[in-house]
Amino acid sequence: MILRVADQVRQCQSISEVLVATDDERIMEHVRNAGVECVMTGTHHPSGTDRCLEAYQLSQSKADFILNVQGDEPFVDPSQLEALCQLMSRQGSSIATLAKRITDRETLFDASKVKVIVDQHSRALYFSRQAIPYMRGVDEAEWHLRHTYYKHLGLYAFTAGALQAICALTPSSLEIAESLEQLRWLENGYGIDVAFTDIETPSIDTPEDLMKLNLG
């Protein structure tokens, strides 16, 4: 699965380097045998963002910006990564991420699916596991029909400076409440630009996820 992710990332023409970061020697051996560059990081990281920073530092890369793609995203589409690259290179974003419009009630009220609301300039205002905003006087079954809701996709791009800065921050109250690290960044004044995609890219976290997709 990790090699599949790496292959998908390689197809994005704006990405010049692909690096796997892991704390497992078995994974490192597997990906290196397949010809993919890999670095061994520590086991202490509380999030993938922190691991991403260590990997960047170990690689001694001079890249203009860094994309963090999790190893459980074998269906990530190169066009999604290109959208992030465009925000970083053309718009000069320091942090960027992705969102997809929600078209069904089940997703909207699923607490495992993170929602994001954006301002008129497509910058994130807030992330939540709740359905936000609340639609007063409207039946919940019609919320997604009466307002545009977005699901957050956990792909990020950072400048090196922004990545170093946010990893140095202590957990915030909103982050602790929702268990969402990006709220720490917003609480500390870091803007997050949002690109939009119409592509559904399910992550594979369990054997059951494989079975649902008829891949197992």
pLDDT digit string (tens) for 122-148? 999 999 999 999 999 999 999 999 999
pLDDT at position 170 = 94
Mean predicted confidence (pLDDT) in 99-107: 96
| Alpha helix stretches (DSSP H) within the chain | 2-10, 25-33, 48-59, 78-90, 105-108, 143-146, 160-167, 173-178, 182-187, 207-212
Pull the structure tokens for residue 204: 């594979």
**Closest to 158 measured CA to CA, from 85, 70, 95, 88:** 95
Domain boundaries, the chain: 2-101+151-170+181-212
Alpha carbon distance 83, 93 (integer Å): 12
- Model confidence band, residue 98 (pLDDT cutoffs 50, 70, 90): very high
Residue 101 contacts residue 200 (beta carbons within 8 Å): no
Pull the structure tokens for residue 132: 């936000």
**pLDDT, greater one: 71 or 162:** 162
- What are residue 27's phi and psi, to 5 degrees? -65, -45
Q: Is the pLDDT of residue 216 over 60?
A: no
Tell me what percent of the residues of the chain surpass a pLDDT of 90.
80
Radius of gyration, CA atoms only, the chain: 18
Buried b (16+ CB within 10 A) or exposed e, 92-131: ebbbbbbbbebeeeebbbeeeebbbbbeeeeebebbbbeb
Using one digit for the tens of pLDDT, what is the confidence trace for 145-188? 999 999 999 999 999 999 999 999 999 999 999 999 999 999 99
Q: SS3 for 128? A: strand
* CA neighbours closer than 13 Å in the CB half-sphere of residue 90: 8
For the chain, give me the number of helices (H) and strands (E)? 10, 8
Q: Is the pLDDT of residue 215 over 70?
A: no
CATH fold of 2-101+151-170+181-212 reads Spore Coat Polysaccharide Biosynthesis Protein SpsA; Chain A (3.90.550)
Please provide the average confidence, as pLDDT, over all residues in the chain.
92
Using one digit for the tens of pLDDT, what is the confidence trace for 196-213? 999 988 777 777 777 777
Q: Is the pLDDT of residue 22 over 70?
A: yes
Pull the structure tokens for residue 107: 């997703």
